[in-house]
Every structure is written in C-alpha cells, then in structure tokens.
Amino acid sequence: MALLEVSGLNKRFGGIRAVKDVDLSVQEGQIVGLIGPNGSGKSTLLKLLTGVHKPNSGSIRFDGREIHNWPINKRIKQGMAIVFQHSRPLHRQTVLDNIKLALLPDRVFNIHYPGDIEAKALQAARLLGLEDVVDAYPGSLPFGYIRRMEVAKALALSPRLLLMDEPFAGLTPSEVGELAELILSARHEKQAIVLVDHNVKAVYSFVNRIIALYVGAKIADGEPREVMANAEVRRVFLGKSMDEGQILQPSMASEPGGDNLLLDLDIESLKYGKAEILRNVSIRIREGEFASIVGLNGAGKSSLMKAVTGLVNYTGDVKWRGMSTKRMTTAQIIRLGIAFAPETRELFHHMSVKENLEMGGERLNRHELEARLEDVYALFPILRERVAQPAYTLSGGEQQMLTIGRALMQAPSLLILDEPTLGLAPVVLEAISEALLKLHQSRGLTILLAEQNLHFALKLSNSIYLLDHGSISWHGAVADFVQEVGDKFLV
C-alpha cells in the first residue's frame, strides 16, 4: 500500500480548472518532484496535499486513511510535515526557539513544553548544519540559513512524508547543492518527500521520480531521465522545433542597425530581503534589436524586467541612451520611451477596452490618441470589436493583446514584454507572434522579451540571453543557441 494515494483530484477557482483529474501515489522512501511551467498546477496540487486548499472532487489517502477534508494540523499530527515557499521566521526568537515552536502542542490547553523538545530541536539544527547559529536571530543570518531553519522545523517532527514548496527558491547554485545534501543526509530511510521547485535542474538531481504537469493535468510520471526525455514534456518546455531536434533557421526578425546603444544594463545584485535573485547581469540592447531573455521558471526574468523599469531596487546601474536611470521613478523611466507589458497584465478590469488603451496614451493630444488607437486596432482587430467591453470579460488571449496595445499607446522606443505567452492557446500565440514581427520588421521597434517558451523566443529574436539561477550563462545568436545549448537548457 502506498503511503500517499491521490486519485481523480480536481480543483477549480471560478471558471479556471487548476488541477484536472490527477492521480499519483508515493511509496515510503520515495523522493518525488513536481515540475511544469507557470500555471501548470504544481503549487495548487501541493496545497491540496497540505490542506491549504480543499479539492472540488477526488480522493487523498494518507497511510490508508482518507484525509481530503482534514485540517493542516491534523495532517501534521498523523505524520506529514510542510516546508512552505515563503520563510516567515519569528525575528525576536533565536534559531533554536523557531525550531522548538514547530514542536509545540497544537492545543491551547497544553501550556507545557514536552520534556524532549530541546533535544529534538537541537538534533534537527545539527542535521541541517545550524549547530553554530542556534543562539543567533534570523535577521542576522544569510538567506540560505533561513531556508535550512525552515527545513529543520519540518524534520524535527520526524515526519513520514515531507512536503516542500520551492525549498531552493532564492538560493545560489552552491547553496542549492548544500541544502540538497543536508536534506538527503538528514532524512531517515523510509521518509518520503514530495517537492515543487522551479529549479528543474535541482529537482532532476535530487529526486528518484518526477511527475510533470501541464495546465493542471499530469503529462508524465516516472524516473527522471525517462520523464525529461518524454516528447510531451520536451514540447512543453522547449517547443516543437527543439523537441524534434531541428536546427532553427536564423530568426526572421530584422537585424539591428548600427551601434546605437539604447539600453546598457549592469546589475551587480538584486535581492528580495535576503534572497539574491540576480547577480552580475549585463545586457546591451541596440536600436532595432529584438532580444530575448530566456530561462526556466524562477530564473529571475521578471525581476530583471522590473529593474529596467524601476519597479525594484538593485545595486549596479541601468543606462538609457547613456543616461543613468538609477534614481528615476518608474513614471520618469516610462517617459524616456520605455513601455512595459507585465506578466500579470495589470489591466483596469472594470474599464472598457478603449478606456484601458486611453490610459496608456493619457499624455497624448486628441489627434495623436486617435492615431495610436487606430494603430493598435490594426494590429489587433479583435480589440476594435471588443472596444466597449470591460477588460474582465475578455479571454486570456484578448487581455494579453490589450496589455501589449496599452503599452504601444505610449509610442515607445523600446517595448518590454514579460512572459506574453503565459497560458495562451496556440492560435493566440500565432497572432501575437505575427503582431510582434510586424512591429519589429515593418516599424523598426526595439523589443526586449522575457520568455520561458523557448520556441516562441527563438522564432522572433535576433539575440538570446540565457538566464540561469540569476546570472547570464550564455549570450549569442539564435542559431548558435540551438547548436551550443540545446538540451542543456533543461538538465
């Protein structure tokens, strides 16, 4: 009998079916990784297992008992432990006290510490290499030690099943390796682990089984090498042309003209709290270029785009036409001629299509505004048909077109697109692809694309930057990327 048995699991959020009829089982001692692109349902599935979300239908059995309606604390008492994605330590308590907190009884009437709580907490700290910092406060420690502390809190419970959500997020490659080794050495022989992480390479080397998800459904399940060679998995991550082993022809995108440097970016470090997301990233974008920043989920692509537009703090500098934008506000940066279409779209949902577009062109006079509107409608004719509809009534593809259209209303010199293909159907991808090619080839617009859909990026771009664990690991032409990187993009 499996330790964990899931069958027919479904979860909906409104009209979105985030998990679709998922079946899986986990045996004692197995280490299982859940992988998939953004929106594939990984985190939702893990939250169903932990009890953060309740399924709409389906079964979750743990050690032979149905638990889909159990609260989190009851699941923990029966032998589950959870490492959440975001670390929220008690900063006024020491590392040891934080670990001891996880061992406290879950009933308000049990006001006394169990007698062995100190010993258990110290043992967990030693297993995760924290013995020298047990009396330190979390705020004084590097981010890698905070993640170790979160794992120690879970392992102190001696669970039969350890569930981990993004345990390697925000860690450097060396910290990932260290934490993985500590977890493997600390677990007991029959302890099972299920983890979700955007770091596919770390998952591949850490687990003995991989389950791949795509748009809520399971598409592969098996030994890591077998799953990563699966045609459907490769198509999802790499795109059809890479999957078939074809060498793409040089991009149809026109070549940049001259050496007119628009964007000169040198980021030494970008952090969220103690987690370093980007380090030593340098990018040069010339006028007329179509450049793509590619990388797997969690590589730092969105953070890089936000740095260019002044939405996050960083050390280093970003220059536009030779002028530093470091001390400028986002509004000032946009007025220089940089337009940003964010991954999250950020539309005004209850405003009409036309009103959303007019917000993008609010600095234009009436004549200029009407001309820009006509340009956007010519590029995306469906928006003209939907002109009076509220943004929230549009399909996902139409909302993405509106997001790009709103950015174009600013008449930018540089258009920045963050994950424009996310969750879109192939027919919509083709329409957006054609629109971007037209903008670049016919109008000479400079475009900077952040994208995990490798096939989409290779089809459009002049140059490719590969972002891996927060650093640029490769830069060059499209054809060279296929030749020199290829399968290494995944593992």
pLDDT above 70 (res 486) = no
Residues 296 and 207 in one domain: no
Lowest mean pLDDT among 117-131, 224-238, 283-297, 369-383: 224-238
In a domain, 256, yes or no: no
Residues 304 and 403 in one domain: yes
pLDDT tens digits along 415-459: 999 988 876 766 778 888 899 999 998 888 999 999 888 878 888
Neighbours of 324 (CB within 10 A): 11
Residues 27 and 143 in one domain: yes
Q: Report H helices in 20-88.
A: 42-50, 72-77
Residues 415 and 281 in one domain: yes
Per the structure block, which two tokens stand in for 443?
């109008």
Residues 277 and 208 in one domain: no
pLDDT tens digits along 12-35: 987 778 899 999 999 999 999 998
pLDDT on residue 232: 87
Lowest mean pLDDT among 349-358, 366-375, 415-424: 415-424
- Helix, strand, coil % over all residues of the chain, rounded to 5: 35, 25, 35
Question: Domain end: 243, 273, 307, which one?
Answer: 243
Q: Provide the residue type at 155 as one letter.
A: L
In a domain, 253, yes or no: no
Question: Domain end: 243, 276, 307, which one?
Answer: 243
In a domain, 430, yes or no: yes
Residues 401 and 481 in one domain: yes
pLDDT on residue 319: 95
In a domain, 9, yes or no: yes
Question: Domain end: 212, 243, 274, which one?
Answer: 243
Neighbours of 14 (CB within 10 A): 6
In a domain, 444, yes or no: yes
For residue 231, the surrounding DSSP H or E stretch is helix 231-238
In a domain, 248, yes or no: no
Residues 314 and 224 in one domain: no
pLDDT above 70 (res 242) = no
Residues 215 and 324 in one domain: no
Q: Which residue has the tokens 């993004």?
A: 166
- The rounded distance, in Å, linking the Cα atoms of 27 and 35 is 19
Tally the domains of the chain: 2
Return the C-alpha torsion angle 473, 478, 479, 484, nearest 10. Answer: 10
CB 60 within 8 A of CB 12: no
CATH of the domain at 140: 3.40.50.300
Residues 375 and 470 in one domain: yes
Residues 141 and 176 in one domain: yes
Identify the domain containing residue 470 by its residue range: 261-489
CB 464 within 8 A of CB 292: yes
In a domain, 249, yes or no: no
Burial call 399-437: b when 16+ CB within 10 Å, e when fewer:
bbbbbbbbbbbbbbbbbbbbbbbbebeeebbebbbebbb
In the three-class reduction of DSSP (H, G, I as helix; E, B as strand; rest coil), residue 194 is classed as strand
Sign of CA dihedral 250, 253, 257, 261: negative
pLDDT tens digits along 243-297: 544 444 445 555 555 568 999 999 999 988 877 889 999 999 999 999 999 987 7
Q: Report H helices in 318-441.
A: 330-335, 353-360, 366-379, 381-385, 396-408, 426-441
| The model's pTM | 0.69
Residues 239 and 265 in one domain: no
Whole-Å CA distances, 488 to 165, 221, 295, 393: 25, 21, 11, 41
In a domain, 252, yes or no: no
Q: How many CA atoms lie less than 13 Å away from 8 in the CB half-sphere?
A: 4
Residues 357 and 226 in one domain: no
Which of 345, 310, 344 is closest to 325 using CA atoms?
310
- The rounded distance, in Å, linking the Cα atoms of 220 and 214 is 9
